[in-house]
Amino acid sequence: MNADPSAFKKNKEFSCPGILFSMARTPETGRLFYGSSDFKVYEFDTAVEKPAPVAFQPQEQQQGHQSYVTGVALAAGQLVTGSYDGKLIWWDLEQRHVVRQLDAHEKWIRNVIASPDGKMVCSVGDDMQCKVWDAATGEVRHVLQGHQAETPHHYPSMLYANAFSPDGKWLATGDKVGHIVVWNLADGKPAGALEAPGMYTWDPKQRRHSIGGIRSLAFSHDSKFLAAGGIGKIGNIDHLGGPTRVEIFEWQTGKRVHLLEDDKQKGLVEQMEFHPSGQWLLAAGGDHAGYVKFYNTADGKIIHQEKTPMHVHGFEFNEAYDTVYGVGHGKVAVWELKAAPAKDEPAKDEPKPDAAEKPAAKGA
């Protein structure tokens, strides 16, 4: 796991129709599953000589999704997908047929994830509910409600992001106005709350409209730190031309240890993941274009960043953390990280506050 982020390079790139909103990968393989803007779910194997999307097909009298497929998770030996139609569907991986279909949320589903042990599935939707499901049976374990239905300006809010902690004890959810709740999965009760309002922009004059929000969440591998990703203040809310913004919290104390904002590559932070060592964090997303950024978690500085061939909506590392699989606008891409040179002393593995503690940025 000594891959070097500065040696990041694209290995493969494939064109696929539509917008690829989310993805999951079969462990130890390059076999991907993604949800698309054409309302379908696809399998895509990057390891074969000439990969092509293979659609999942509902059988007779099975409806399938009727809108964008925005969440994809592998759990209990099946694929679970969520959509703007508010439905969760369990699919057989080999036959690619519907096993179970539930009316899960009253409004758009924004994301679907699986717990580290694969026994639970979590969905979040614009009904401002987070639901935790038994992956094997489809039964609801928890209905978590800790987010307001309206923004401070009395417009509908959205619940975009969710993340399980690697130890399986905690679940984080984040909404449009920057409110984050960490839940105890043992009893379904709140264990902490954080605020990141700097990711929310309100235009009171021209559009009377808002944009932004917590678009991604990620726990460190020791479950001590929580990163929230989105976009900074936007001048023109009709576009996503604002700086990328990541805030890292020591969530149990509520202390923010880093505010990472950069406008070299702009747009939403759609997904993040910490390296197991805790030394760096990968963030990816985009506006009309796409990017990847590797942050040093000790000092908050960018180790490496570059443009990607598409706005990245989802990615996943392989087990060795030297390969990244990503999906986005019309593309599947595979990147590689070369091994880092050996060092005499191991690097520290925890984020540290800046040497000189500075007050939070305005609006943060």
Asked, for residue 349, whether it belongs to a domain, the answer is no
Residue with tokens 């479950």: 223
How many CB atoms sit inside 10 A of residue 197's CB? 13
- pLDDT for 178-190, tens place per residue? 999 999 999 999 9
Contact 172, 183 (CB under 8 A): yes
Domain that includes residue 123, residue range = 3-339
Asked, for residue 357, whether it belongs to a domain, the answer is no
- pLDDT for 226-282, tens place per residue? 999 999 988 776 677 789 999 999 999 999 999 999 989 899 999 999 999 999 999
- pLDDT for 321-361, tens place per residue? 999 999 999 999 999 998 776 655 444 445 554 433 333 33
How far apart (Å, rounded) are the C-alpha atoms in residues 228 and 212?
12
Asked, for residue 355, whether it belongs to a domain, the answer is no
Asked, for residue 270, whether it belongs to a domain, the answer is yes
- pLDDT for 149-163, tens place per residue? 999 988 899 999 999
Asked, for residue 364, whether it belongs to a domain, the answer is no
- pLDDT for 2-26, tens place per residue? 789 999 999 999 999 999 999 999 9
Asked, for residue 234, whether it belongs to a domain, the answer is yes
What is the reported pTM? 0.92
**Which of 108, 102, 103, 81 shows the shortest CA–CA distance to 92?**
81
Asked, for residue 83, whether it belongs to a domain, the answer is yes
The answer to whether residue 110 scores a pLDDT higher than 80 is yes
**Residue 322 token pair:** 């030297």
The string over 304-316, giving b where at least 16 C-beta atoms fall within 10 Å of a residue's C-beta and e elsewhere, is bbeebbbbbbbbb
CATH code at position 204: 2.130.10.10
Q: How many domains does the chain have?
A: 1
Q: What's the distance, Cα to Cα, between the start and end of the chain in Å?
A: 34
Task: Compute the mean pLDDT over every residue in the chain, rounded to the nearest whole number.
Answer: 91
Asked, for residue 360, whether it belongs to a domain, the answer is no
**Which of 200, 129, 140, 142 shows the shortest CA–CA distance to 170?**
142
How far apart (Å, rounded) are the C-alpha atoms in residues 214 and 162?
9
How many CB atoms sit inside 10 A of residue 135's CB? 24
Contact 145, 163 (CB under 8 A): no
How far apart (Å, rounded) are the C-alpha atoms in residues 237 and 60?
44
How far apart (Å, rounded) are the C-alpha atoms in residues 13 and 205?
42
